[in-house]
Amino acid sequence: MKTKRIHYLDLLRVLAIICVIIIHMSSQSPFYAKNLHTTSWIGVNFWDSMVRFSVPIFVMISGVLFLDPQRKINMHRVYKKNIVRIITAFIFWDLFYAFYTYFFETHTIRMLLTLIFRGYSHLWFLPMIVGLYLIVPFLRKFTTDQKLMQYYLGLALFFSILLPTFYTTYYALAAHHSMPYMVQLFIYNFQKVTDSVYFRFTMFFSTYFVAGYYFHQAKFTKKTRYLIYLLGLVGLIGGWAFSNFFSLRYNTPITPWYDYMSLPVALTSIAVFLLIKELGEKIDWTQHSQADKLLILLSKLTFGIYLVHFVFVRILVVHLHLFDHIPNTFISVPLGTIAVFIFSTIVMYFISYIPWFNRHIM
């Protein structure tokens, strides 16, 4: 039986990939300038802060598809189709970016070997998602029981989000400001106690994996949804304001509230997920068949766009000197993002017609 397409997931995919490109455009050289008190840095910091929900959204989408008890999941097929494909893609693109960097940027064997064995920066997502696929059979046990799923997410909220946000915030500020001795003593011992629990099962991205299915199937009142949207807005503005204030104060990027597992990003990610879900479910896609076809096409290309886009980011920034020509990053980042998205989409669209590439590396 053919599975009914979930259109709002397509909307989320396309939104998320555009936002990932914004992150990578914003994380180039202007972000690491010696003087942060410039329009250039304030601009990249603004754009970076606005789109941190993108990676959690990708994980939540996977959670919807892999953890729904109504969808039959054959782990042999997951290994053969999903995991092998991701590993193949990782190896191919790791080598691609390593040799690209060697020939067009650094020209050093040391960097070539480092990138081959370490992996290029944005490719970290691939082994992470493989790790989540490996524990799908365990996580599906939680999603069959609403109470058990809520219990899991409660633990994850504390161990995966609240504690890391607290510690990273403290240490980011303590590196630039002398904390009272009693505060240092409390933090040191409190962390020893919490670390001694060794509670790792709910850590990191499995939180978003389970949360994706939970918020996909959960029904909320209008009042609750608006509260979630408000909290998401608070997280979005709070993450930006925190980073902007303390980074300018100490003249160095202070970004603990940009971490994907930070509370501000978690609140924003959930709000964006629910908002797009609500909007997507209100659209009668049969009345917009052409837009639907384009959306599905872009959605299918997002993995390939994710893999290839960074080379276009580097071409724009390093070789075409985008930020030298347009130093106002409030303008150059979105312009660069549009260009990278268009070129990446065109390239992956044509590559998708090559059978081996389509099956193994995109």
> In the chain, where are the structural domains located?
7-360
Query: At 52, which amino acid appears?
Result: R
How confident is the prediction for the chain on average, in pLDDT? 92
- Judge whether residue 201 has pLDDT over 70: no
Q: What's the rounded mean pLDDT across residues 296-315? A: 96
In this prediction, residue 11 carries a pLDDT of 96
Q: What is the pLDDT of residues 325-334, one digit of tens each?
A: 999 999 999 9
The rounded percent of the chain whose pLDDT value lies above 90 is: 74
The pTM assigned to this predicted structure is 0.93
CA distance 211 to 57: 10
Kindly indicate the confidence band of residue 357, based on its pLDDT and cuts at 50, 70 and 90: confident
Angle in degrees, CA 54, 59, 61, rounded to 5: 95
CB 239 within 8 A of CB 45: no
Residue that is written with structure tokens 């930006």 in the block: 240
How far apart CA 360 and CA 255 sit, in angstroms, is 35
CA distance linking residue 299 with residue 91, whole number of Å: 23
Which residue's entry shows tokens 């930070």? 262
> What is the model's pLDDT at position 35?
94
Contact criterion met (CB below 8 Å) for 246 and 169: no
Task: Give the closest residue to 161 by CA, choosing from 116, 119, 101, 210.
Answer: 210
Q: How confident is the model at residue 199 (pLDDT cuts 50, 70, 90)?
A: low
Q: At residue 2, does pLDDT exceed 60?
A: no
What mean pLDDT is predicted for residues 165-183?
89
Confidence of residue 1 (pLDDT cuts 50, 70, 90): very low
Residue 78 contacts residue 136 (beta carbons within 8 Å): yes
Region for 39 from its dihedrals, namely left if φ exceeds 0, alpha if ψ lies in -120 to 50, beta otherwise: alpha
Predicted local confidence at residue 3, as pLDDT: 66
Q: Which band of pLDDT confidence, cut at 50, 70 and 90, is reported for residue 195?
A: confident
Helix axes 39-50, 222-250, angle to 10 degrees: 150
Q: How many residues does the chain have?
A: 362
Instruction: Give residue 361's pLDDT.
Output: 83
Tens digits of per-residue pLDDT, 275-293?
Answer: 999 999 888 887 888 888 9
pLDDT of residue 197 exceeding 70? no
